[in-house]
Homo-oligomer: A and B are copies of this chain.
Amino acid sequence: MKLIFKRDALLAGINITAKAIPSKTTMSILECILIDASAGEIKLTGSDTDLGIETIVTGDILERGRIALDARLFSEIIRKLPEGEATVTIISDDRFNTTIECENSLFTIPGRDGEEFAYLPYIERDQYICLSQFTLKEVIRQTIFSTAPNDSNKMMGGELLEVKDNILKVVSLDGHRISIRNIQLKDHYNDIKVIVPGKTLSEVSKILSGDNEREVLIYFSRNHILFEFDDTIVVSRLLEGEYFKIDHMLSSDYETRVKVNKRDFMDNIDRSIILIRDSDRKPIILNIEDNNVNMKVKSAFGSMNADMTAHKSGRDIMIAFNPKFLIDALRVIDDEEVELYMMNPKSPCYIKDEESSYIYLILPVNFIA
């Protein structure tokens, strides 16, 4: 095999596929990136067994072939070559020894037979949706934080993607909160309901450009999801089983509705966290009276007391939360003002907008006033 690349283009391709390389694995072939130039184009592939990423890199094929190279070594070598338009030549011989040449530097590293590398599964491309890279990247950021990847309930490590007509609903939840985003799509589609591993979504979001003008196609098969954008495809296994019935957990009743400035609210909660160490899980206590929200934290390190004006309708209420959960939700809401809906100190609090384009449900915690 003999290939010629521009250094920057090759590095970009490596950086994309490397996202699928597992940090720990007992199968050393999975630590490799496959360079496949056996057909008319050059494809780089990285894969753990659940997630695979494939991207096409521009380059000249002087001799066709296929080689698997240790991802970490390969990416470090290319990264340290002169930046920009420098020409990188990669040559592999019959024994998979590979030389990487650029200007006056020549690296020789052992490669592995491309045949050892498992190809990405074939996915039927009939069920799909289309949205902008920006929207997908955003919705992942706005929900991923409330997955629980290490929970014994595997479902909590995934996110529900549900399509009905022209609405994509994305849901994640752990034992303490639920995040819901409803996104309007440009077209109408068939019903889809899948559970996607959080890791897949988080790796996809790292590769997405965040460009509103560029699109992603998402294909769904029985067991897999496939993201196609730019010159890249990401294939992932789906989680099998039934997702939580979240409609049962939601309610639109409330006794107190309060509108606050998001920035002020976040800043105050952020300050309160100073006094809370992981060891003692002190809550932040909100005392909502008339048009004032008083926030209190008391821990072994000291106490904080802060006030913030608000627009309240309904009853006064005193309710306590894990401050981190409030911060997580507020951080991903773009509105200047947010509305909290509460029933009583034992029932979930909802942060949502009028159109329900987002709903963040947070369970309160017990407190001593």
Partner of A82, one of B73, B267, B302: B267
Tell me, rounded to whole Å, the shortest Cβ–Cβ distance linking A89 to chain B: 14
Tell me the complex Cα distance, A106–B307, Å. Answer: 9
In the bound complex, CA of A105 to CA of B77 (Å): 52
A105 engages B302 (CB within 8 Å):
no
Residue-wise interface mask of A (303-346) relative to B, using a CB-CB cutoff of 8 A (1 in contact, 0 not)? 11111100000000000000000000000000000000000000
Binary contact track A23-46/B, C-beta < 8 Å → 1, others 0: 000000000000000000000000
- Stretch from A57-65, A203-211, A268-276 contacting the other chain: A268-276
Question: Which A104-152 residues have C-beta < 8 A from chain B?
Answer: 104-110
Contact in complex: B307, A80 (CB < 8 Å): no
Evaluate contact between B306 and A80: CB separation under 8 angstroms. no
User: Given A82-B267, A267-B82, A107 and B303 touching (CB < 8 A)?
Assistant: yes
> Is residue A76 within 8 Å, beta carbon to beta carbon, of the partner chain?
yes
Q: Contact at B268–A73, with CB atoms within 8 Å?
A: no
A81 to B105, CA, bound (A): 52
What's the Cα separation between A108 and B110 when bound, in Å?
62
- Whether B73 lies near A270 (C-beta < 8 A) is no
**CB-CB under 8 A for A105 and B301, given A80-B271, A267-B82, A274-B77:** no
What does the 1/0 interface line of A279-314 toward B look like (CB < 8 Å)? 000000000000000000000011111111000000
Copy total for this chain: 2
Query: Which residue of chain B is the closest to A307 with respect to CB atoms?
Result: B104
- Shortest distance between the CB of A37 and any CB in chain B (Å): 21
Chain B residues closer than 8 Å to A274, beta-carbon distance: 73, 76-77, 80
Known: A73-B274, A274-B76. A268 touches B306 (CB 8 A): no
A275 to B109, alpha carbons, bound, how many Å? Answer: 9
Point out the residues of chain B lying under 8 angstroms from A76, CB to CB.
Answer: 274
Task: Determine the distance from Cα of A268 to Cα of B81 in the docked complex, in whole angstroms.
Answer: 9
> Do B77 and A107 touch (CB < 8 A)?
no
Residue of A70, A80, A106, A107 contacting most chain B CB atoms (<10 Å): A107
| A274 and B75 alpha carbons, distance in the complex (Å) | 10
A108 to B306, CA, bound (A): 11
Contacts of A81 on B, CB cut-off 8 Å?
271
Q: Do B302 and A109 have beta carbons less than 8 Å apart?
A: yes
Q: Is the CB of B105 within 8 A of A271?
A: yes
Contact check, A109 vs B301: say whether CB atoms are below 8 A apart.
yes
| Interface positions of A from 244 to 283, Cβ below 8 Å from B | 267-268, 270-271, 274-275
Provide the bound-state CA to CA distance between A73 and B297, in Å.
14
| Cα A76 to Cα B109 with chains together (Å) | 48
Smallest CB gap from A271: residue in B: B80
Expressed in whole angstroms, the Cα–Cα distance for A301 and B97 within the complex equals: 12
User: Closest residue of chain B to A274, judged by CB?
Assistant: B76
Shortest distance between the CB of A275 and any CB in chain B (Å) = 8
Cβ contacts A to B, 29 pairs, < 8 Å: A70-B301, A73-B274, A73-B275, A73-B301, A73-B302, A76-B274, A77-B274, A80-B270, A80-B271, A81-B271, A82-B267, A104-B306, A104-B308, A105-B271, A105-B306, A106-B304, A106-B305, A106-B306, A107-B271, A107-B275, A107-B303, A107-B304, A107-B305, A108-B303, A108-B304, A108-B305, A109-B301, A109-B302, A109-B303
